[in-house]
Structure 1
Amino acid sequence: MAYIVNPDVVHYACSCGLLKPISRLYFCRHCLELRCGFCVCHEVDSLFCGKCLDNRTSKEAAERKNKCLNCFICPSCQQQLSMRSSTVKSTEGGKESSKVVYLICLWCRWTTRDVGISDQPVGNNRWPERDNVYANRLHGIQERYKALVLAEMQQKLEKDKKRQKKYVTYTERTGITAAMIRKKLGIPDVPNPHLKNKINEAEPAIPHEDVDELPEELLTQPIILTNITTLDQRLIQPDMQPTVVDKLYPVRKQLSVKQSLRCRSCEHNVSKPEYNPNSIKFKIQLFAYYYVPEVRIFTVEPLRVEKKCELLLKFVNPTQYQTTIKLLPYYKKVKADFEAVKQETDVSLDTVEDSKENVVKLEVKEVKEEKPETKESKEPTSLTSLPSLASLSITRQQSTTIKPRPCDAEITADLIIPECSFILPPRDDAAEYDDTADSHNYQDDPKVVVHRKCNKATIRLQVIPKQMELGEEVVVAFTMQHIYTTTSMENKEPIKTPLEVPVFLSLGKVVGSQ
């Protein structure tokens, strides 16, 4: 798990131009492109509580303000609170009464008894909550904005009614309106309470010139920081924002979300979890480190300006098929992509110009040929039905195509890339513990391939840092071309496709020039 414990020094270029580690990228099997979090659509599948694992519908979550009614978190350290039971003896005769429970944090040892909250009987999970002093004002503001929304909707409906219609409605024919029908049936016409002639204005905040003086305790007594709440403790309760520790109340736990990710280009899912909150499995799991070879920095010599430094990279094949990797310069990949995009735009512009000329010719031809009007000639002719425009395929626009964009990262070193390619065997979990399974005869160049084991290979490269100041970061880039193998339901034979992925490496800082 080197991509989790190690720092982010190896980045892959997404199709949108952003640099991300391989653990934060997705691979679309239909587009055959890398996608980051900005290149996919996020869709909410389910809402659930992370502690009690109860599912909630979107309506229930909105009514409860996306919080669980049964679970609480500590207002001091934001960890989960647990219940502890105890017995209380009655004052009369010393007999034991029913058991009671209280909340305690197993991390910072905060309890509900510290702030004076009484213990609750077993089975009653309704803990007291503090009343917000600004509740009435907030309710008035919400009602005002609801009235504004309804008023705007009513104005929009009235404008739509005033527009000229191409057909006559039943009301216009008979003159009977909905108000007349209600009056004839004896139903009172009750207007919407929010739709009034005048919307109630919210009470504005009134400034006061008389401000209370600071208490003398702030100037005479020493400040005890342990009794004052931190910024996080105040923001977790925005309605109260307590200033002292004695006013911290338990906070209801917010609901968690299970979301599915969909590619913006082809609209296929790249990640879809199970609906059950108890399960951590995925129905669709197209993470990049399952399909794209992983690059790790093995060792690098001290970097000196305009001096050759040895760089050892380890390549790992995560798939169950053998792949061939070839390293290419980064500028060739970018140049080829932009030439392809330019050709596509030129072709699209030519087709638009040709379509305009064809339409003009058709109009001129129809004017010259005067024929008697028939039922067929009166019908409007669609553009797609014309023989000259049928080849242009004027149809509904397909899903968005993401054009390749260059990366903004500055390359500060040259990389000497070998011309030969190397092979990575498929992944075999059992071979990790078998030393006799490393007998491969791939006829590698010993100057390039240093070491092999199972599905891993270590490659030697040369880096030459450019002229820069001492202590600046050295960044190199190359394009990794690998063979992606997949199978389909129609054709069971594996299909091999060469793919190219730009890779950026942060090798460290320059130590000197000699």
Structure 2
Amino acid sequence: MVDLLRVNRVQYVWNEETGDRLPLCYLYFCKYCLDIRSSDNLLHEVDSHYCPQTQDAVSTTEAAAKKNKSATCWQCPACPNLLTTKGSTITLPDPDDPTKKTVKKTHQLHCTFCRWSTRDVGIEDKATTTGGWTEREIPNFERIHKVFDYYKQIAQKEILDAKSAKKRGNKTLAMQLQQKYASTKSYGRKPHPASPLNAVVSRSKEFQDTKAMDLAPSPTLSLQDVEAISEDAYSKEIDFSKLSSISQRLSQPEHQTVDISDFMPKKAIMFVKRSLRCKECQHNLIKPEYHPTSIKFKMELVAIQYVPEIRIVKQPVLKSGERKRITLVAINRTDHTSHITLSRMHQENLNYSTAKSLCELPSNELVVPVSQFHVPEFGMNDDENRTADDSNEIAFRDGNKVGFYVWVTPDETLNDGDDVWISFNMKYDYHSTLALLLQSKNDDKPAEPEVNWLCHRIFVNLGKLGTSN
């Protein structure tokens, strides 16, 4: 197919208000709201952290204490590949008898992709495979923690202020002004427990109980103290093979090593398993298994398994103002026969400037059978659907795929090289199985799936005008 790998050519509108759209393989389907969702419109919840190499799962608290870094895995500083331990033997003189030699086994970290090793930067080999490797210290480590504690103190103060503001929300204006501007001096008299003055004193004591910190400002340099550029800075040749790239520097933001000779192995970042939750109904759409070695999902509501997919099969060279026939295909991956109706989109919904090309859609309903994985005798009703098809609208039938023709006339205002977009509405029937799940065991009459008619807006990119795609 034409768009088998270029999935961006067929896009589904997932936000009706803003008109945002994405390919179907990037969307999710909420069977409770009966609508498609994007990852930007879902709540991301971290279920577990795990090491990508050892597959050890850790708790969220332990991962935060380790700064989300693995304890045993190391990553190559030159590429994203993980380092492996490589053993070698060296011959050394025997300390007891200098005339004899002993064989000692050593280990080094080696990258199987870019061939980088710890020996390239002068790191000594270790005698054991586990342990001995140390991570480079982060510069300004103490400064970073002081800044972190300082802003943590500010956040705690804001929480106390919010609590006090909530308590005095129902007080009169006079009492609020008195509480805000009253003096904290009691002049030898103890304030009443319910007085605004006592509230101010108690709140100040709560803030004084917090850890006080004096954060010094970061040092700055004047223009006279900045190191001057050498005279040959613009004339000398630069060997880029000895300098790190931008991606290599950003992979270690705390160091940002410039010279390759200063590369050091870094600890691998832990991976996470996350679940996706709908913001509207608070139901889970993606729920993986907790164990990191499992690739299964407890819940996997991806849109491509519930919404009919539209693809481009065959298309000729498009020319401005010339009517051409395009072959599209509808794919059904559900366990029920899908009935699809295509209709033209209203002009006010065309939020894409190039989607003005005239599009002639099939007038009859498209009946797409179920997938072969859901029926024991696949293709038994395929002959009945094929005899009832109109040859001017239906191109072919292949299992759960139905090819159909679409006549397109590109707009005359388009020039060669411009993208040709068409748009249409797709209405189809969705069989909801929630009634089967909620059915009580005591019910004698079995429940039937509820049929819901859903509609989505689809934009199709037919390629550039005047070129073969």
TM-score, structure 1 length as denominator?
A: 0.73
- Name 1:391's counterpart in structure 2: none
Measured in 2, the distance between the counterparts of 1:140 and 1:309 equals: 68
- Name 2:128's counterpart in structure 1: 122
Measured in 2, the distance between the counterparts of 1:138 and 1:2 equals: 52
Measured in 1, the distance between the counterparts of 2:342 and 2:57 equals: 49
Q: Does 1:53 align with 2:59?
A: no
- Name 1:12's counterpart in structure 2: 12
Measured in 2, the distance between the counterparts of 1:449 and 1:158 equals: 70
Measured in 2, the distance between the counterparts of 1:128 and 1:441 equals: 68
Q: Does 1:103 align with 2:58?
A: no
Q: Relative to structure 1, is the Cα distance of residues 237 and 140 closer, same or farther in structure 2, using a 3 angstrom cutoff?
A: same
Report the identity percentage: 30
Counterpart contact for 1:18–1:407, Cα < 8 Å: no
Counterparts of residues 218-257 of structure 1 (less than 5 Å): 222-257=237-272
Q: Does 1:511 align with 2:454?
A: no
Pairwise CA distance, 1:227: 0.9
Counterpart contact for 1:431–1:437, Cα < 8 Å: no
Q: Relative to structure 1, is the Cα distance of residues 2 and 98 closer, same or farther in structure 2, using a 3 angstrom cutoff?
A: farther
Pairwise CA distance, 1:311: 0.9
Measured in 2, the distance between the counterparts of 1:144 and 1:89 equals: 55
Residue of structure 2 aligned with 1:289, choices 295, 304, 319? 304
Pairwise CA distance, 1:463: 0.7
Matched position secondary structure for 1:296: strand
Measured in 1, the distance between the counterparts of 2:376 and 2:352 equals: 36
Pairwise CA distance, 1:163: 8.0
Q: Does 1:207 align with 2:222?
A: yes
- Name 2:362's counterpart in structure 1: 418
Q: Relative to structure 1, is the Cα distance of residues 477 and 193 closer, same or farther in structure 2, using a 3 angstrom cutoff?
A: closer
Post-superposition CA distance 1:51-86 (Å, at most 9, x none): 221112221222221111211111112211111122
Code of the aligned partner of 1:473: D
Measured in 2, the distance between the counterparts of 1:14 and 1:329 equals: 18
Measured in 1, the distance between the counterparts of 2:340 and 2:169 equals: 65
Code of the aligned partner of 1:28: C
Post-superposition CA distance 1:199-251 (Å, at most 9, x none): 34344334361343446785786422211111111222222222111000011
Measured in 1, the distance between the counterparts of 2:68 and 2:345 equals: 47
- Name 2:118's counterpart in structure 1: 112
Counterpart contact for 1:308–1:464, Cα < 8 Å: yes
Residue of structure 2 aligned with 1:82, choices 81, 84, 98? 84
Code of the aligned partner of 1:233: Q
Counterparts of residues 111-510 of structure 1 (less than 5 Å): 111-153=117-159, 172=193, 192=209, 194-195=211-212, 199-207=214-222, 209-214=224-229, 222-331=237-346, 406=349, 408-410=351-353, 411-429=355-373, 439-442=383-386, 443-468=388-413, 469-487=415-433, 488-489=435-436, 490=439, 491-510=446-465
Counterpart contact for 1:15–1:33, Cα < 8 Å: no
Matched position secondary structure for 2:151: helix
Post-superposition CA distance 1:157-197 (Å, at most 9, x none): 676788889xxxxx949xxx9xxxxxxxxxxxxx757237x
Pairwise CA distance, 1:409: 2.2
Q: Relative to structure 1, is the Cα distance of residues 476 and 220 closer, same or farther in structure 2, using a 3 angstrom cutoff?
A: closer
Measured in 2, the distance between the counterparts of 1:159 and 1:224 equals: 62
Aligned length: 419
Measured in 1, the distance between the counterparts of 2:448 and 2:147 equals: 65
Pairwise CA distance, 1:419: 1.8
Structure 1 portions without partners, runs of 5+: 166-170, 178-190, 335-405
Counterpart contact for 2:92–2:101, Cα < 8 Å: yes
Structure 2 portions without partners, runs of 5+: 172-191, 199-207, 440-445
Higher share of residues assigned helix: 1
Measured in 1, the distance between the counterparts of 2:15 and 2:255 equals: 46
Pairwise CA distance, 1:99: 3.3
Measured in 1, the distance between the counterparts of 2:161 and 2:378 equals: 76
Code of the aligned partner of 2:5: V
Q: Relative to structure 1, is the Cα distance of residues 150 and 76 closer, same or farther in structure 2, using a 3 angstrom cutoff?
A: same
Code of the aligned partner of 2:400: N
Measured in 1, the distance between the counterparts of 2:166 and 2:412 equals: 68
Measured in 2, the distance between the counterparts of 1:13 and 1:231 equals: 36
Counterpart contact for 2:3–2:313, Cα < 8 Å: no
Matched position secondary structure for 2:249: helix
Matched position secondary structure for 1:53: coil
Counterpart contact for 2:50–2:270, Cα < 8 Å: yes
Matched position secondary structure for 2:61: helix
- Name 1:380's counterpart in structure 2: none
Pairwise CA distance, 1:28: 1.1
Pairwise CA distance, 1:147: 4.1
Matched position secondary structure for 1:229: coil
- Name 1:24's counterpart in structure 2: 26
Measured in 1, the distance between the counterparts of 2:368 and 2:310 equals: 13
Measured in 2, the distance between the counterparts of 1:117 and 1:323 equals: 64
- Name 1:363's counterpart in structure 2: none
Measured in 1, the distance between the counterparts of 2:113 and 2:270 equals: 21
Code of the aligned partner of 1:63: A
- Per mean C-alpha deviation after superposition, the further-off stretch among 81-90 and 101-110 is 81-90
Q: Relative to structure 1, is the Cα distance of residues 312 and 219 closer, same or farther in structure 2, using a 3 angstrom cutoff?
A: closer
Counterpart contact for 1:437–1:454, Cα < 8 Å: no
Counterpart contact for 2:2–2:312, Cα < 8 Å: no
Pairwise CA distance, 1:427: 0.6
Matched position secondary structure for 1:142: helix
Post-superposition CA distance 1:251-274 (Å, at most 9, x none): 111111211111122221111111
